[in-house]
Structures are given as structure tokens and as C-alpha cells.
Homo-oligomer: A and B are copies of this chain.
Amino acid sequence: MAELAGNCLIGQSGGPTAVVNASVAGIVTEALNHGVIEEVYGALNGVLGLLNEDLVDLASESQQTIRGLRHTPGAALGSCRTKLKKPQDIERALEVLKAHNIRYYFHIGDADSQETAQKIAEAAKAQGYELRVIGVPKGIDNDLPVTDHCPGYGSAAKFIATTVRELSVDAEALAQNDIVTIIEVMGRNTGWLAAASSLAKRRDHPNDPPHLVYVPENAFDAAKFADDVRRILKREKHCVVVAGEGLVDKDGNYVAVESSDNAAAAQFGGVGDHLREIVETQVGAKVRVARLGVAQRAAAHLASKADADEAFLAGQAAVKAAINGETEKMVTLLRGDGDHYTCETGLTAFADIVGNVKKLPREWLNEDGVSMNFQFYRYATPLIQGEVSVPFDNGVPAFIRLHRESVDKQLPGYEA
């Protein structure tokens, strides 16, 4: 394979995670190891930066800053939810890539973003412009196919499990009267995050909170829910409920959606209050609701070390793959077969990713439909191991900011 010399560009896309910047750090670190990559650029706000030619020089950032990315939440380069829909957008993106001799494009994102990366790769090929495009997975929802799990999920899972354990200990202290604690978690149409709350249970204590976990893969039934709560209150005097934001009823309709111009952009939220109403009217117990919201993907102070390390590894693997001539592929995480958890990286074609969603396997739930069995624990437990050492400054975590040294524009402006 011929060596391809040129510059590389990194873009971030979609909702940030606690460790998505660790992938940026992995890419930058690895890119600087290879002589064929000359400049290391970042696109501000993903494809928007590509369209607007808003590029920054990442190689000029200090080592300290790049290291700091490993514990900084958000998207250090800025993110966006923009898709390249119009043919002229793709055309423009290519012009910008060419103008800066970008030969390596690394796109960190979820399924939608991988589709964008694929479009750019295809257009380059059609024009005979040699460009290698590699995707890096990210997302707390953990719903990307092929990859064993998604960087970002482990940290969100750790935050949720910790918070559920803490809220449960608090609730227990006041459990003389029936009290129901409802925790609404993210996850859109899959139950990976809701299921992760089960990691709050101590080993061999199946009756520990959370007592009832509702996932979107399982049709929600209000009457069964009320029965479930009554059963737990009888046994424990308090009941901790975890509900995924995207719960659906037996007809497939969302139980609670705040706004939904279209399914993809649906803004979830409100399941907790919906369940509260059921408990108050049908069970008659006191309820308190917590909606963890974006904290689930931003809580870098409690990131999983395993997750942060794998996010970094995925970034490195993307560079290695591209250097080796790979393109139009996304990095995947592969779990070893042994009893001891190991994780390596692999590659999968963009085509395998786009349009596919990985649901929580139904057989990982117990028959009661509200708790997880050993298969889920075996899967998820390794992903939340270890803590990231976050520096604190004056009592709060110190996050870094990129200096964002602009790369000189070569092209006229563009109306995206």
C-alpha cells in the first residue's frame, strides 16, 4: 500500500459524553506518531466547521491540554446535530478538505454521524480525491450495532449506578412510610442505561434497589406497574423505580414525549412525572422524582476509567487503521473470550452501522420484566470499573479548553 502524506482532520458530532474528548486525545496523540500525517486539525462544531472552513490547529495545543482532554466532558471542538443533506454541502465539504490537503478524516459520533462520514468518503472517491475516512463510535445510549459497546456508555452507566445507590440509601433512611423514588434516565429507544442502574445492587443482593427497572424494549403497562410497586412496598417499605425516557406501551406509542416533530428529533422527558401520577392515583404512596438529564453524559468527575481508556484507544485505533490504508470504516470495541475482561479494537464498514440500532437483548431481563439477569451483569460490570483522576481547582473539577488557534482560510465563505 502506498504511503499517503497529508493532513488530518478531526470532527465531533452529536451529544457529547464524559469521554468523547478522550477519543480526540487518542487521535491527536497517535497522529503525531506518524510522519505521513503533517498537520493535525480540528473542525469546530463538526461538519459545520467543515462547511464554514472553521478549522483549528490541534498540534499547536500543549501536551497538558491534550492530556486534560482525557477528563474533560462536553465536546472540546464543539459538536453539532447538522447533517449534510444538500449535494452542494457535500461538494463544499470536499472543497475544504482539498484546500487544506486533508487526507485523513476522523469522525467521532453516533450512527447518524457515521452516515455523514460515509457520504463524504463516497464523494471523495467519486472525484478521485484520495481521502481516508474512519469513524470513532461514541454515545451513552450504547445502541450502535457491531461494536461490543460504545465509548461513553460505561461512564454514564457508572454515574447512574452510583446515583441510584446514593438515592436508595437516602430513601431507606426515611422508609417508615411507603415512599417511592422514581429516577428517569436517558437512552431513547433502548434500555441500556436504565439496565445499568442494576449495577447499584450489591453482589448477591437481588432485592437491593433499584427494585423495578423499566426498559423501552418491554411494553409498559400501567396496571402491572402499579402492582409491581405495591409488591415492593409490601416487602421493603420503599421502592426505587428506574424508568427509561423512551418507554412505549403495547401499541408502540411513547408513554411520555415532550416534543416530537419527528421521531429522530423527539425530545424525551416526562416519564418520571407520568409514573408519579400512576403511583399517586393508583397506589397512594408518596413519590419523589429525579430526572438526571444531561448530567448522565457530562459527569466526567465520575467517569469510568475503563471507558475513558477505551475511548482513547478507539481514537488511536482510528489513526492506525487509516495509516494502514483503511477507509469508510468505524472502529469497534471487541471483547475477549476469556473470563477476565479484555478489550481490543476492530473495524466495521459504515454500511453495517447506518440505520441499525442495537437493542438490549430481551433474554437479559428476568422473567419479572423489571430486573436484569447474570448476562447483563457479565456484560456491563467491566465497563464501569476504575475511576478517572480528575484534578480539582478551588473545589470543582478543572476542565481544559482548547486554545483553538485558527487555521487560515483558503476559500471564500459559504452559506450553509
Interface residues in chain A, defined as those with a beta carbon under 8 Å from any beta carbon in chain B: 12, 15-16, 45, 48, 72-76, 78-82, 158, 161-163, 165-167, 169-176, 181, 199-200, 203, 267, 269, 286, 288-295, 297-302, 304, 381, 384-387, 392, 394-397, 399
Contacts and interface: CB of A to CB of B under 8 A. Distances in A.
Contacts of A203: 394
Contacts of A304: 395
Each complex incorporates copies of this chain amounting to 2
Contacts of A80: 174, 176
Contact of A169 (B12, B48, B286, B298): B298
A294 B176 contact: no
B395 A181 contact: no
B381 A385 contact: no
Contacts of A269: 288-289
Given A48-B176, A291-B289, A395-B158, A297 B170 contact: yes
Given A170-B298, A381-B394, 14 more contacts: A15-B170, A16-B170, A72-B169, A79-B174, A80-B176, A81-B174, A82-B176, A158-B395, A162-B396, A166-B300, A288-B293, A291-B293, A302-B302, A384-B395
A293 B290 contact: yes
A366 to B, nearest CB: 20
Contacts of A172: 74, 78
A199 B15 CA distance: 25
A75 B173 contact: yes
A274 B300 CA distance: 29
Most chain B beta carbons < 10 A, residue from A79, A170, A299: A170
Contacts of A292: 290, 292, 295
Nearest to A158: B395
B295 A290 contact: yes
